[in-house]
A and B are shown apart, each in its own frame.
Chain A
Amino acid sequence: MGIATATTSAAAVPATSAARPAKPMALWRALNTALHDILEDTPEAFLLGEDITTWGTGGGIYGVTKKLADDFGRGRVMDTPISEEVLISAAVGAAMQGCRPILEIMYSDFTFLGFDGIINQAAKARYMFGGQFDVPFVLRTNGGSGIGKAGQHSQSLETLFAHIPGLEVVVPATAGDAYGLLRTAVASNNPTIFLEHKNLYNDRGPVSFEPIPFGVARIARHGTDLTIVATQQMLKRSLEAAEVLQEQHDLSAEVIDPRTLFPFDMQTVITSVKKTRHLVVAHEAVRDYGWGAEFVAQVVEEAWNDLDAPPRRLGGLRTPIPYSEVLENAVIPSANQIVATALATRRDRQHV
């Protein structure tokens, strides 16, 4: 049916920012720049969210909307009441009427207050009405743990959103991806959940100011002995783990960042597994029933004969995210656990 491989064409993004030289910047600044460029060249776009103009240094809780209200006015960058339910469904209604609203929900945990708008309305409006309506709605929010925000400000909900037909789910891990994927999210005519990670906002990386298409995974590190699939904070830890595996165990890990969980790029993963014959999936969302299980299942179905060992999954424990640092560190996978799991996978091959 062509659904699972649907991609949003990056060609739909206006090209006014082309030919700008690439430069390194923090992830939050890359998002800020993307929003600036979007407001400049997309008249249908506007931003709304709680405390997005005057909090902190003047741009929401992590600075992503800094100075945008100054540059584009309060007509396009709007502070809202604390009313997630109506804000989410209003953004959907505005999108159905030809706008490109970009709604910031302060923490992804708060999206639960507006799930009707996301799941019953945004995700289904195109389908139930027989394809009459585009829903170019972007919900920007942050998920993930690592900075002591505790149980109701730290969840990783990407699996939950990826499960819903009709939604696109974006999980950028680097500054460059954050810029490029946000440009594509706003150009997309599908509702998009754009999940930032609160512990990556200050990570710096090169930004080339080009849109990045959905459904195209990035090989973050090339390798030959083992494939690791990971997103966001787990990607970072997987890259650290890959260095340890190389230096201490002479194992060459290939690390893949899916970048979007729907649409998703299975082909890059399968091609890699055919080469390395070993797979580990690491994510911060709760491991049980998580998206890693989906990736593993598809690899098993499509490349069983290319595997030398059972694929393994790492994910968050089946607990809420605790507050105390020692506990918080205990509930999501560490680089050391990724190393240990990779070694276990390689050991398993002897039994094959």
Chain B
Amino acid sequence: MDPVMLARIQFASTTIFHFIFVPISIGLAFLIAVMETMYVVKGQDVYKRMAKFWGKLFLINFAVGVVTGILQEFQFGMNWSDYSRFVGDVFGAPLAIEALLAFFLESTFIGLWIFGWDRLSKKVHLLSIWLVSFGTLMSAFWILAANSFMQRPVGFEINNGRAEMNDFFALITNGQLLVEFPHTIFGALATGAFLVAGVSAYKLMKKQDVDFFKKSFNLAIVVGLLTSILVAVFGHQQAQYLVQTQPMKMAAAEGLWETSEDPAPWTVFASIDPEKQENSAEFKIPYLLSFLSYSKFSGEVTGMKELQSQYEQEYGPGDYIPPVRTTFWSFRIMVAAGTAMILLGLYGAWLMLRKKVEQAGKWFLSMMLFGISLPIIANSSGWIMTEIGRQPWTVFGLITTENSISPNVSAGSILFSLIVFTAIYAVLAAVMAYLFVKVIKKGPYAEEADHRHASDPFNKEGYNAVS
């Protein structure tokens, strides 16, 4: 087997798996911080319960997110050592800062939050969860600063055959980062919100702890709707930015072989033949691609064939067209999932305003349950589009994926690690799903019940509690 392919499969699988949990953590931390704030401000016990109940799901999820993240940091050195040598000067810095600024903050204050309910004052305890939430956002910022460098390298010069940083400020004000960060963050907040809304809808359908889950649903649907809309807004900005900085990715995402007419129509679906470099069975909406690319109803978009010859002149002979089908379809899956989220959010918020959530139809509540998967699908396909669409480059215009791998690591070693990590990740996924279901079934008021069972039945109080 080809070590480049194996290393890519490994990177894709471990990163996608890791990125299922990260947005849930970011979103839940924020929602729990809001819930606990309401508890501290209003003093109603139900909000404390909410923070604790959703906190349980958060902690299970957080644990998996953290441990799968360790692998991400190690992986660059293990599988991609030539990449690490070439860009470590620039790329390593945000990773180190992420650890210093975010990981320490998250891990210390999550400990204080879990174990500090009885040891910290209400306000300090509340501050802890807000710092955790802030930490998750910081973590995202720095990792996306590193990723943005791969999409649009800035703030460096080539010295002694490698990229060296010469402008740190450029790195953290990278235009790519300014559109990628809000797009990803709002996506993450929406992921947490749809999880809470979906689970709440399920419990409302079962008519369990109605008041508790109605409150949870209301909060989550507002956050879910607002963030889904913001994801779309920044997604649009990112698409426009892409046309200017990575036109090949955009052309591939549109399945656009030839440069389009002016105004350009948007292809809803097409059957793509990368061998012949042409599409069939296309269905197009006029003007829409011009609007997506330039926010106006005119302007042509450059196609892949023209870009290919441009890149050959610039970077020498080679194939600069990314896997077109994957890029094209992942983009559409992302947009479709995002649209569905906005629609669900709108209907849910309308129900909430009319105070009719508990009378909502079963079809809607089941849709909300299914809706938990929508942001996860959108997140994954969004990243697939971003990373696959950049191929054959690891860092756009600077170093190719082929030249990035570790020359001293055998295909056998990579295959071995691929197998063991896939196996342990499968176990983690199964266990997590099992624990999620268990916690959700138990519900928010299970703890006292547990306590009652645990107490000694011969003890007077315990006896009364049981009988």
Pairing of A with B: no
